[in-house]
Every structure is written in structure tokens, then in C-alpha cells.
Amino acid sequence: MTLEFSFPDYSSHPDFDNHEKILKIEDRALGLKAFIAIHSTQLGPARGGCRYWSSYANEDEALKDALRLSRGMTYKNTLAGLPHGGGKTVIMGVPGTATPTRDIMLAIGHALNELDGIYETGEDVGTSQDDFLIAREITEHVRIRDPHGDMNPYMAGDDPSPYTAHGIYCGIKAALKHKFGNDNVAGFRFAVKGLGHVSTPLCETLHRNGAELFVSDIDDKKVQYAVTNWGATPIEPDKIMSQDVDVYCPCALGGDVNPETIHFLQAKIVAGAANNQLSGPDMARQLFERGILYAPDYAINAGGVINVVMTGIPKDIVMYRVTGIYNTLLKIFQRSDKEGKDTAEIADTIVEERLAGTFQIRNADKASTIKNSA
């Protein structure tokens, strides 16, 4: 390996948000280029997944993803009441390859050691548990599912997808309650873009409880499964957002709601699994002005990270904690109405208030320690 580590100054980047550290990783022999962005460790060590994606057009796209996703993890962990900050690893995949090689994962292990424990990562888009078993040969700073989670049906720490899906379902119910006064999903129409590990159990729950589904995915087999098992109506991916439904669920990649697509929306609610569903904060304001209720992504999809942090705790306790997403979102919606601000701004404000309160407490503790030792 000919690994190169550097900490460039990206403070002028439009998505830089006072990130604490940004590690750039390169190995020309491996064809490796990756970023680890640490947004905050104020509440505790940063947590956030490792993404391998071969469709980045250039380095700036990968950096943008790392910056935005790491910030999102800080906000997700803080809003969920977890003692962790946010970070993200983004690997620029080799074109035509869907997963990282063994050497790339060993290189990521070395990179994590460079950060000396302020950040831990685990599986995300394009990476798997097996990849982190490789990285663990080099570093202890990886999150591997608790092996007892797969063997013990009562303990958390296994696949985070069902927990994420449950949280999104609870968040959808909160949105329906706020918008329509009724949180029973029966009879409501849902357009779901992307049928992955999270949206599949979400759709199963929606169908089981009487919802009508319209679905799209680039994988025809997944769409056919939805048609056969849930009575879903198949829709082309470029038409799913324009369906006349009650709830639009973006469950694919980020930036789905953007200046080119927002005018297609007919739904009254946007609530889904994807990270960074909006291309920018101006989209949240436009949704608010059009009367479309937006469930901030990092608030509604926090179930998975709650499960990871609570590994080894009985599943029913973890699920109960995830159910709290319902009340979290109701408070965001109600405060949005009261203050006349969009829900994304309100969610950010709540996080910033919590972080500011923690900062003040730490400063007070530090001042007390200095005074007592004088």
C-alpha cells in the first residue's frame, strides 16, 4: 500500500459547516480516493456509516456527500437523544464495481486509526458487515453487528433496517395525525420511490395496515414483488413523484426534492427513508409555503442508529425508544405552525439549542474545575 493521509482546508466549500476534521485518503496503486468527515464530537465520539459509490462524477461530489451526511448524523444523533456526534466515510468506488476490495477496506482501517477513536463507522450504501470484518483486522473503530443479535431474537444489535422502517412508520403516522387529524394509515395513498432494505419492511407494514401503495425502483424484480405481495401499482421512477397521493416517500438516494422536481409533487406529506432528501434548505421553505408537510429526514429515519447505539439491549425496549420518533415529529410540526417556520429549520433549531446547552454546561464544568484547582 502507498496510502496518503491529509487534512485539507475545505472551509470554503459551500457544504462545510464548522466540521472538526476532514481526512482525505488516497492510494494511487489501489485507485483509492475517499473522505472521512467528522462534523462534531461535542456530545461524544462521532458515528456514521461508510458509503461506497462508483457513480460520483468527480471528487467534489464525493466530498459534498461526506460533508452533508456527516452533519446529518450529528443532527440525527442529537435529536434522537444519543450521546454521539456525527461523521461519515465516503469512498469513490471504481467505475463498474459495486463493492470495495479487501485492500480498500484494510486502507479504511488504517485511516480510522489515524483519527484515534473520535469516529467509528459501519455498513452503509455499498458496504456490508463482511467489509468491516476485514477492516477490523486493522482497527477497533468499526461497528459490527452483535453476533448475539442474529442468534438471540430478543436482543438488539442485528440488522438496523427494521428499526429504521419502524421509526419511519411512526413518523408517517405523526405526519398524518398533524395534517389530517387521523394517524390510521388505512385508506391513505403512498408513493414510494426505492424498494430497499428499509422501504421493504415499511411497505409491508403500510400494506398490512390498509394503505394503498404506488411503487418504483430501478430493479424490476423488486417492483414485481411489491405488485404480487402488496397489491401495489407499479410506476416508472421518473413519474413516481407526480402521483396524486397523500404521502410521498423518498427512499432512494438524496437530493430527490430539488428545483427541477419539486413542482411535480402532488402529495400533502413528504416522509421517507432517504438521507438528504432535499437538495437544499430552500426546498424545505418551498414545501412549507405550498402547504406540504415535510418530516425532516434525520428525525424520521433515526431508528437504525438508535438500534446500533443500543446494541445488546432487549429489542422491545429499543423499539419503544424508536417509537418516540412519533412525538419528536409532532413537536416539530406544532412548533413549525406556531413560529411560521418550515419543519427543517425547526428541527435544526432544536438540535442547535441542545448543542448550545451542552456547550454551556461543559464550559461551566471546566470553569468550576479550574476554580477548584486554583
Residue 326 contacts residue 170 (beta carbons within 8 Å) = yes
Distances from the Cα of 273 to the Cα of 17, 187, 199, 344, angstroms: 23, 21, 7, 15
Residue 306 contacts residue 167 (beta carbons within 8 Å) = yes
- Assign 3-class secondary structure to 50-66: EEEECCCCCHHHHHHHH
222 included as an active-site residue? no
76, 88, 173, 193: which is the annotated catalytic residue? Answer: 88
- Residue 193 zone, left/alpha/beta (φ > 0; ψ -120 to 50; rest): beta
Residue 170 contacts residue 140 (beta carbons within 8 Å) = no
- For residues 320, 186, 271 and 79, what is the CA-based torsion angle, rounded to 10 degrees? -20
CA 128 from centre of chain: 16
- End-to-end Cα separation, the chain, in angstroms: 50
CA 321 from centre of chain: 17
Q: Which residues are catalytic?
A: 88
